[in-house]
Amino acid sequence: MRNGKLLIVAVLLVLFLGVGPSLAADAAKKAARLTSKSPAAAPYQITIDYTDAPELKDWVEKKLQPTADTWYAKIVKTLPSKDFTPPARVSIVITDGYRGVAATGGNHVECNSGWFKENRDGEAPGAVVHELVHVVQQYSRRRGGASNPGWLVEGIADYIRWFKYEPEPTGCRPRNPDKASYTDSYRTTAGFLNYVVEKHDKEVVVKLNAAMRRGKYSPGLWKEYTGKTVDELWKQYVATLR
């Protein structure tokens, strides 16, 4: 009986000191995560934590999780290279703590909860597809290797998003071609890559990606793969936009 009284006192102290609500909050966080269940995701596992945006629950379940499950596997197949194994597990967190739109480090993606609430029916799923490309890219500068140009890293991610995932490549045509450059990154670079794929080498994105994974990117690869320098290719592309 004495032990029973001590247990009751201990429980009351825990509740009084605020540990109880903390445990309840932890339980709520566990309830606000979804993990891949669709066969489309196999053999990969993608977990989405929407603790900071519980109002996105239905959208995460019906739109974002199926999109992530399906497209992560597709991206892996789209960007293969010798001896490469993509991360088997990916975590996506919709958080109040990130101020940009979305960002990736390793196999972890952070998404701005406010932006995702406002854009759930617009660009939000595509933004996650873009970040999943970064998870698959897994570029790292190897000792003695060349650094990868940021414009091309982002351009490949947007190429997969806007020319593979999205129904229409919105905003990929530069408004002023004469002032634009292939180094403008994101959608501009994506549009340029699509031109090179369609007109010169259907595998150019795959080849560039493989070289970048090995730390072997150089501007000379464009001529090796297409017979033209990147500047010559850009000049041709711009001519089609006028």
- Please tell me the chain's helix, strand, coil percentages from 3-state DSSP, rounded to the nearest 5: 55, 10, 35
Of the pLDDT bands very low, low, confident and very high (cuts 50, 70, 90), residue 15 is: very low
Q: Given this model, what pLDDT does residue 13 score?
A: 37
Q: What percent of the chain has pLDDT over 90?
A: 79
Say which residue, 139 or 17, is predicted with more confidence.
139
Is pLDDT above 80 for 75?
yes
Of the pLDDT bands very low, low, confident and very high (cuts 50, 70, 90), residue 40 is: confident
Q: Given this model, what pLDDT does residue 32 score?
A: 82
Residue 9, exposed/middle/buried by CB under 10 A (0-12, 13-18, 19+)?
A: exposed
Predicted TM-score (pTM) of the model is: 0.86
| Centroid of chain to Cα 78 | 14
Average pLDDT of the chain is 89
Domain boundaries, the chain: 31-138, 142-242
Helix axes 186-199, 230-241, angle to 10 degrees: 100
Q: Given this model, what pLDDT does residue 34 score?
A: 86
Write out pLDDT tens, residues 143-182.
666 789 999 999 999 999 999 999 999 999 999 999 999 9
* Alpha helix ranges (H) inside 84-217: 113-119, 124-137, 150-160, 186-199, 204-213
- Separation of alpha carbons 141 and 143, rounded Å: 7
Is pLDDT above 80 for 202?
yes
Please enumerate in sequence order all residues whose Cβ is within 8 A of that of 82, keeping only pairs 6 or more positions apart, or say none. Answer: 210
Q: Are 110 and 116 in contact (CB under 8 A)?
A: no
User: What is 31-138's CATH number?
Assistant: 1.10.390.10
- Separation of alpha carbons 54 and 130, rounded Å: 23
Is pLDDT above 60 for 20?
no
Q: Given this model, what pLDDT does residue 38 score?
A: 80
- Separation of alpha carbons 168 and 15, rounded Å: 55
> How large is the average pLDDT for residues 62-68?
97
- Separation of alpha carbons 236 and 40, rounded Å: 39
